[in-house]
A and B are shown apart, each in its own frame.
Chain A
């Protein structure tokens, strides 16, 4: 892994402005002048009120969207959406993005297949990853025959099988019930601990952010979202997300970060009520 001081991902002064539907007006500024750095092997969470442009930020990092201004660097190299997506990143989407016409197994090995790996080689890795996310024996089921939690695990395996250096996650567990969600969070931490990828994890849930991360970045309410706080989480690892929530250190951090976030959440809420 490249750890000689070059950040895994660096968004520098990124601004994203979307044109209005009719092409007139000033448009909508989702993200304004945002600088965000993720070191190699670092787990960073970004929290912010709903509708504040968190997903936009992730799409920029993934190379799916070019920012209106500013630049994205991946391990020191400039990323341009026009030249294709960020090849070193894996992206786990908020909504279901599995191919419904492929079985679980075929979904997991899709990335290997796109890279031209032979079927027999892919088979070994695919089975291994199904086992790792606890879906051994479910490979021949179609996504619609699986529960929400199983589908999330499948999506996780589909992303991790390519061993991306950077993992982008967009509220991946927000659709799950609390119990399943905590199980998935622990599983994610276990998988992450094995080879320490760089992770950019987007969530609106502060507890989840603190429990998982090395660093929590707080965003302001939209429009023109920008980071307004950056907090280091020095809780010991390995962590158990259920237990760590009870520790005094966690609660102190939570109070501190919530203090910074509260005002923005209320702003977003007011805006939604008016709009």
Chain B
């Protein structure tokens, strides 16, 4: 509880500094020549919150937020499913993995954001070009973790399950999948963030809806407060999604020992 209070204190201090430095006329300007320049470049916290409140009060934000979240969710689920499937396949088939290896490495080292314009041409300016970008970002994170996870399954566990009569399918279901799951969840936290990146970057490059579009519009009119408001809303929802992944993880991974856990008698 005390920790929470201190965390809130840090936030309060930051906002106070932000306010003090940008409010015109509050303290004499020491870097900019004019009083209102700081506010022009950095926005003002009370106005930023005003924009956020306004967005939600009028409901103006909802269609945009809905589109961005839909793009993120689709990019996340499609990318994660592909990553899981291909990761399992390549980890369990040494031949396929040896053949694909250079291509996987190539695609992974490519800065995949450069694909965004191509996707815009292929899929248009609607949500699918953003989803495609999100998928390419999410896929590799999940893929590498699953691949690693499956290959690090203890050979003992596999031998034991085989001696107990497990078929290949049962091995996959009872040994490989659960064993890879802890790696998958570790990667999903990153993946959510990347799906968001895919959606917003896609919107920057060309769109007619979405929070990224709102931010771009505001930037065009030098409305820095709205830009910050957009960033704030995106951050808040990224945290919410991350929290959701964490909740699902805790539900499914009850078997994992927690650090320093003692037995409750």
Interface residues of A (CB under 8 A from B): 59, 62, 64, 85-87, 89-91, 93, 95-103, 110-111, 114-115, 142, 144-145, 158-159, 162
Whether B159 and A114, one on each chain, are in contact in the complex, defined by CB atoms closer than 8 angstroms, is no
Contact of A110 (CB < 8 Å), options: B164, B167, B256: B164
Chain A residues, CB < 8 A from B178: 99, 101
Whether B162 and A85, one on each chain, are in contact in the complex, defined by CB atoms closer than 8 angstroms, is yes
Whether B170 and A85, one on each chain, are in contact in the complex, defined by CB atoms closer than 8 angstroms, is no
Q: Would you call B165 an interface residue if the criterion is a C-beta within 8 Å of the partner chain's C-beta atoms?
A: yes
CB distance from B51 to the nearest CB of A (A): 47
15 A-B residue pairs with CB within 8 Å: A62-B159, A62-B163, A64-B159, A85-B163, A89-B163, A93-B156, A98-B160, A99-B161, A114-B166, A114-B170, A142-B255, A142-B257, A145-B257, A159-B163, A162-B164
Chain B residues, CB < 8 A from A145: 257, 263
Contact of B255 (CB < 8 Å), options: A90, A100, A114: A100
Bound CA–CA A64/B257 (angstroms): 31
Q: Would you call B174 an interface residue if the criterion is a C-beta within 8 Å of the partner chain's C-beta atoms?
A: yes
Bound CA–CA A111/B159 (angstroms): 13
Q: Would you call B245 an interface residue if the criterion is a C-beta within 8 Å of the partner chain's C-beta atoms?
A: no
Bound CA–CA A102/B160 (angstroms): 14
Q: Would you call B12 an interface residue if the criterion is a C-beta within 8 Å of the partner chain's C-beta atoms?
A: no
Whether B255 and A102, one on each chain, are in contact in the complex, defined by CB atoms closer than 8 angstroms, is yes
Chain B residues, CB < 8 A from A114: 161, 164-167, 170, 174
Instruction: Name B's interface SS.
Output: helix
Compute the total of residue contacts between A and B using a CB distance below 8 Å: 67
Residues 203-261 (chain B) with a chain A CB within 8 angstroms: 254-257
Bound CA–CA A52/B123 (angstroms): 63
Whether B164 and A111, one on each chain, are in contact in the complex, defined by CB atoms closer than 8 angstroms, is yes
Whether A97 and B159, one on each chain, are in contact in the complex, defined by CB atoms closer than 8 angstroms, is yes
CB distance from B204 to the nearest CB of A (A): 42
CB distance from A56 to the nearest CB of B (A): 13
List 17 additional A-B contacts (Cβ < 8 Å) besides A85-B163, A93-B160, A114-B165.
Answer: A85-B162, A86-B163, A87-B165, A90-B163, A95-B156, A97-B160, A99-B161, A99-B175, A100-B255, A101-B179, A102-B255, A114-B167, A114-B174, A144-B257, A145-B263, A159-B163, A162-B165
Bound CA–CA A114/B163 (angstroms): 10
Q: Would you call B15 an interface residue if the criterion is a C-beta within 8 Å of the partner chain's C-beta atoms?
A: no
Given known contacts A64-B159, A93-B159, A96-B156, is B165 in contact with A101 (CB within 8 Å)? no
CB distance from A158 to the nearest CB of B (A): 7
Whether A111 and B255, one on each chain, are in contact in the complex, defined by CB atoms closer than 8 angstroms, is no
Q: Would you call B157 an interface residue if the criterion is a C-beta within 8 Å of the partner chain's C-beta atoms?
A: yes
Whether A99 and B165, one on each chain, are in contact in the complex, defined by CB atoms closer than 8 angstroms, is no
Chain A residues, CB < 8 A from B181: 101
Chain B residues, CB < 8 A from A97: 154, 156-157, 159-160
Whether A101 and B255, one on each chain, are in contact in the complex, defined by CB atoms closer than 8 angstroms, is yes
Chain B residues, CB < 8 A from A93: 156, 159-160
Counting chain A CB atoms within 10 Å of each CB, the highest count among B159, B167, B178 belongs to: B159
Whether A158 and B255, one on each chain, are in contact in the complex, defined by CB atoms closer than 8 angstroms, is no
Chain A residues, CB < 8 A from B154: 95, 97
Chain A residues, CB < 8 A from B164: 110-111, 114, 158-159, 162
In the complex, what residue of chain A is closest to B159 when comparing beta carbons?
A: A64
In the complex, what residue of chain B is closest to A115 when comparing beta carbons?
A: B165
CB distance from B198 to the nearest CB of A (A): 31
